[in-house]
Amino acid sequence: MPKQTSSPAPSIPVLLADDANWSTLAAALAAPARAFAEANGFQPKPGRLLMLPGSNGGIGSVLFGTGNDAGLRDVPFLTGKLATDLPAGRYRLEGTLASPDLAYLGFLLGGYRFTRYKTAEPRGVVLDPPAGARAADVEAIAAAVMAGRDLINTPANDLTTTDLAAAVHALAKKHGVVAKEIIGDDLLKANFPLIHAVGRASAFPPRIIDFRWGDLEAPKVTLVGKGVVFDTGGLNLKPDASMLLMKKDMGGAAAALTAANILMSLKARINLRVIIPIVENSVAGAAFRPGDIYPSRKGITVEIGNTDAEGRLILADALALADEDKPEYLFDFATLTGAARVALGPDLPPFFTEDDTLATDIARTGLTVSDPVWRLPLWKPYQAMLDSKSAEMNNVGSGGFAGSITAALFLRRFVTEARHHIHFDIYGWVPSAKPGRPEGGDPQAARLVAALLLEKMGQD
Ligand code: BES
Ligand code: MN
Ligand code: ZN
């Protein structure tokens, strides 16, 4: 007998219905389906879903409203709703898409859940990659972002400084390279005095991890990420509400690792270096104190005005190390200030660079890949707010004004050799779910930086 070849069941079409195409789309439906849509009062409002019956009583097709956003030009991640709201099954999108890649990515990212401590029934919703999508690349990007989300969502009891370091080693290993790590008191010998000072009170020692990957002849790109696994504020202890979410204070590290993961998976033609300073900002007898003065790797002395401004301290030493290599591009990512949220809210991280052309490229790429950011100025006159009576700089600005800008100006002092330095002050967290962005950790700006670099290398 010849072998039976069973072709897989065809996927269920998801029909993109917008304000302009809806009447034509409705007219083309089979009469019972059209009657069903009418009886249900379907309107193509953004995100509206209606399952239409097929001839066998199953789901024949799905109407998916996109409002006036034909082709999902403005809200490409609206497809994230499909992952959470459709019944189990295999689907395909039907209609014109502004970006098949982003429509697919939104769907994949919308399906993310943090399941380490609470298992969830698999939803069983699968989407055929839309025509024109670079499926393998998009899937690699989604996997990298989800790994970043997992890191941020993992609480500090299970993501100690040792655990975050292990995650960096694992990422390096996955891409065939080995990371170097300097731990605890060795940080003093290796001249990372600020990382040591911030992290020395924790039961889990501070450290800095560093790996390189890629083409030695290609442009040098260095990514640095703030890896504070928990931020109590130190002796300037945070009040309860402000401390509650501080497991996410390694969101910058997660973003740097996510960007690196994407760049390595997509084989970017760059000479990549990743540097992650990792500490827990704890309260203990050995804690650094307000009023302490420390040298830094760069040589600049720093007076501690507030132990809760710890991120900029560990970044100062990490950026100084990065700068010694004279990279073409030096990016840093950090959940650095509450002031950034006051200025721009949780969804729009500020970024800082002196290069106007590059700033335009960054803002544009952020919009293009739905990873938006907004430029704030490195306003030189505010540098004076960081003056200290006894040291070369204070770690906090006097007066409490322009917190995100003064933090950026602080970091800027530790970079003198890199051709471009770009700092992202991210929130690292989605406070309430949006399509493709479930509530929880979010490695903001990672996809944008990866896309920007791939574009610059002519690989987009
Ligand atoms: N990790 C915080 C910043 C933060 C707070 C980010 C809340 C996202 C949400 C950082 O270490 C910090 O505590 N910054 C202080 C600086 C201040 C002491 C100058 C802040 O923003 O209040
Ligand atoms: Mn802090
Ligand atoms: Zn912090």
The question of whether 412 is a catalytic residue gets the answer no
Domain that includes residue 329, residue range = 138-456
Co-location of 367 and 223 in the same domain = yes
- Identify the H or E element spanning 322: helix 311-324
- Residue 5: predicted pLDDT: 57
Q: Is 325 exposed, middle or buried (0-12, 13-18, 19+ CB in 10 A)?
A: middle
Q: Which residues of the chain have pLDDT under 70?
A: 1-7
- Residue 56: predicted pLDDT: 86
Helical H runs in 159-215? 161-174, 186-189, 193-199
- Residue 188: predicted pLDDT: 98
The question of whether 434 is a catalytic residue gets the answer no
| CATH for 256 | 3.40.630.10
Co-location of 84 and 196 in the same domain = no
Establish if 6 belongs to a structural domain. no
The 3-state DSSP class for residue 196 equals helix
Q: How many domains does the chain divide into?
A: 2
- The helix/strand count (H/E) of the chain reads as 15, 19
* Number of neighbouring beta carbons within 10 Å of residue 347: 14
Task: Could you list the beta-strand ranges (E) of 335-456.
Answer: 350-352, 374-375, 393-394, 420-425, 429-430, 440-441
**Token reading at 343:** 């200025």
When computed from its CA atoms, the radius of gyration of the chain, rounded to whole angstroms, is 24
Ligand having the closest approach to the CA of 335? 1
Using most ligand atoms within 8 A of CB, pick from 337, 347, 398 the residue to mutate for ligand 1.
337
* Number of neighbouring beta carbons within 10 Å of residue 39: 8
- Does residue 449 line the site of ligand 1, with CB under 6 A? no
Establish if 1 belongs to a structural domain. no
Co-location of 386 and 256 in the same domain = yes
Ligand having the closest approach to the CA of 403? 1
Helical H runs in 388-457? 403-412, 446-456
Tell me which residue of 273, 412, 282 sits closest to 336, measured CA to CA: 412
Co-location of 156 and 284 in the same domain = yes
Q: Is 86 exposed, middle or buried (0-12, 13-18, 19+ CB in 10 A)?
A: buried
User: Cα–Cα distance between 136 and 113 in angstroms, integer?
Assistant: 21
Co-location of 123 and 156 in the same domain = no
Which residues fall within 8 angstroms of residue 53, CB to CB, at 6 or more apart?
Answer: 32, 33, 36, 59, 60
Contact by Cβ (8 Å): 424, 439: no
* Residue 125: DSSP 8-state: E
Tell me which residue of 171, 254, 180 sits closest to 210, measured CA to CA: 180
Establish if 269 belongs to a structural domain. yes
Establish if 58 belongs to a structural domain. yes
289 C-alpha to ligand 1 centroid (Å):
17
311 C-alpha to ligand 2 centroid (Å):
6
- Does residue 193 line the site of ligand 1, with CB under 6 A? no
Q: What is the pLDDT of residues 160-173, one digit of tens each?
A: 999 999 999 999 99
End position of a domain, from candidates 133, 158, 179: 133
Contact by Cβ (8 Å): 102, 369: yes
> 0.95 cut: is pTM over it?
yes
- Does residue 101 line the site of ligand 1, with CB under 6 A? no
- Does residue 150 line the site of ligand 1, with CB under 6 A? no
Q: Is 218 exposed, middle or buried (0-12, 13-18, 19+ CB in 10 A)?
A: middle
**Token reading at 294:** 């420390």
Phi then psi dihedrals of residue 54, to 5 deg:
-95, 180
Co-location of 186 and 247 in the same domain = yes
Co-location of 282 and 390 in the same domain = yes
| CATH for 43 | 3.40.220.10
Co-location of 314 and 344 in the same domain = yes
- Residue 55: predicted pLDDT: 85
Co-location of 237 and 204 in the same domain = yes
Establish if 250 belongs to a structural domain. yes
- Does residue 338 line the site of ligand 1, with CB under 6 A? yes
Phi then psi dihedrals of residue 253, to 5 deg:
-60, -45
Residue type, 118: K
Tokens 């051709």 belong to residue? 419
379 C-alpha to ligand 3 centroid (Å):
22
